[in-house]
Amino acid sequence: MVLGILHQPTPYGGAKDKKMKHEKALQRLKTTEGHLRGIIRMVEEDAYCIDVIRQIQAVEAALNKISGIILEDHLNTCVITAIRGEEQGERERVLKEIQEVFETATKV
């Protein structure tokens, strides 16, 4: 579930805080998209390789920041809701998802 989109109230901050985080993540994604388009232009124009690599690293850092925003929201909504819920299978599922995300991140 992207950005904790759940049909239950969020445990922390409520709907207004959730909307602000959603808007913050979207704005960062749009900014990063523009930055990526700039890198594409740099490659098309045969820019200096190290300059291109530095810009790619900046985009990677921006995407990591966005992932952190989304993860924080997920932990404070979906995961907390599942842990407080009655269904053991749902608790295990969300915890396994978090584990898989971290395993994938360490492979990069």
Q: Write the pLDDT tens digit of every residue in 62-88.
A: 999 999 999 999 999 999 999 999 999
Q: What is the mean pLDDT of residues 41-48?
A: 98
**What is the average pLDDT score of the chain?**
87
- Whole-model pTM? 0.76
Residue range 8-22, pLDDT digits in tens:
444 444 567 778 888
pLDDT > 50? residue 93: yes
* In contact, 56 and 39? CB cutoff 8 Å: yes
CATH 3.40.50.1820 fits 13-107, yes or no: no
Integer Cα distance of 31 and 79 in angstroms: 28
Integer Cα distance of 66 and 88 in angstroms: 30
What pLDDT sits at residue 106?
A: 86
Alpha-carbon dihedral sign for residues 92, 96, 99, 101: negative
The residue ranges of every structural domain in the chain are 13-107
